[in-house]
Amino acid sequence: MARILLLENPHVSADDLFARADHEIVRIDHALQGQELIKALDGVQMLGIRSKTAVTREVIEACPELVAIGAYCIGTNQVDLETANEYGIAVFNAPYANTRSVVELALCEAIALTRHLPEKNAVLHDRVWEKSAAGAHEVRGKTLGIVGYGSIGSQLSVLAEAMGMRVLFFDIAERLAIGNARRLRSLDELLASSDIVSLHVDGRPTNRNFFGRDQMDKMKPGAILINLSRGSIVDINALSDKLADGSISGAGIDVYPDEPDANGDPFDSPLIRFPNVLLTPHIGGSTVEAQESIGYFVTGKLMDYWRKGATELSVNLPHIASSPSVDSLYRVAWIHHNTPGALARVNQVFATAGANINRQILATAGEIGYMVTDLSGELPAHTVQHLSDSEQNIRLRVLKREY
């Protein structure tokens, strides 16, 4: 039985799978940081977080029992993946489970901003009736420029085209265009041609302030900017200036460079003064459907790793998806430094002990190797100790088959 700490309220669907295996679940409804997090992780083998909890080197080094981390969201930039590798901690996320929710919000904001709904709503709440078609347009026939054509950007492309929009996209990776979408080889060309620009890039450090004043200067006059991806990629002060001079006619912003840790905390931004800006509190993936899907998906990955050593779709460890064979009694799951001859040395250890190996899989990724060895007979104790004491060892787990 494992002890699991779930922070920041992942959907209760996460509890269902853990509870079926009789794991102990501890829930805290907000993010924890630093020493407070370290204290809460005492005796914990698996940690579930969302986007606010920072799992730093300090935290990982202080928590030797931690085996796996589940990020109940898309991004994993809140986890120090390099240190997780050093300590053999598997990290999982939900790269696809909330894509539809984000896409629908992006399309919703494109329509709302094109029709000037934020301003109309605010005026009517002030008890003033202003009915006018001035400046309001259909999105049909407008050009949507998508920056980042991954799982979210490409799905947005399909729905936008179904709405009658012309779709352009730019991505540094090779992406196949869907439908009538057209790939542009230059971000500048996309910005100059798009009535609405929607950003869907990841939060890697090199993307910090990726979309700044220079990019905004190249946007079509009066265009709309939507950012539902990462708060660090847009220069908020530059956007504020462009909204003030009217060169950008509206914006939909769901993520921010600095976000509160908990509901009810104060929020401030230079964008709050603009009636033509839709501000939402990082809710792109916050639908019941998406959160339920994320809960099942990430928990399923954690459980597969805990019970079988499966690392399929891990963001940091080499991928091994295979389950133990029906005649396996033990699975030795060994995370090690990827050095020449590791497989031969392991086999020599097992052969010397007379262990009966019926299957063995090795996968590598950079400096990390991951090997699972299935044994149909008893596991000699000294072989485990030998692997644990080897210079290549990072983390060794022995999993006994559950019948």
CB of 9 closer than 8 Å to CB of 53: no
Tell me if 197 sits within 8 A of 113, measured CB to CB. Answer: no
- Is 282 tagged catalytic? yes
- Is residue 230 among the annotated active site residues? yes
189 burial via Cβ count (<10 Å: 0-12, 13-18, 19+): middle
Annotated active-site residue in 11, 23, 200, 230: 230
Q: How many CB atoms lie within 10 A of CB 355?
A: 19
Neighbouring C-beta atoms of residue 233, cutoff 10 Å: 22
Q: Give the three-class secondary structure for 79.
A: strand
Catalytic residue list contains 24: no
Estimate to the nearest angstrom the gap between the alpha carbon of 1 and the chain centroid: 27
Non-local (6+) Cβ contacts of 73 within 8 A are 50, 51, 93, 94, 98, 285, 294
**Residue 54's CB: how many other CB atoms inside 10 A?**
17
C-alpha closest to that of 60 among 85, 94, 28, 92: 85
Q: Which of 119, 161, 259, 292 is catalytic?
A: 259
Q: Cα separation of 253 and 281, whole Å?
A: 9
252 within 8 A of 108, measured Cβ to Cβ: no
Distance CA 118, CA 205 (A): 33
Extended strands (E) in 102-186: 143-147, 166-170, 182-183
**Are the CB atoms for 198 and 146 separated by under 8 Å?**
yes
Q: Catalytic one among 11, 166, 282, 395?
A: 282
What backbone torsions phi and psi does residue 123 show, to the nearest 5 degrees?
-65, -45
C-alpha span between 364 and 370 (Å, rounded): 6
Which residues are designated catalytic? 230, 259, 282
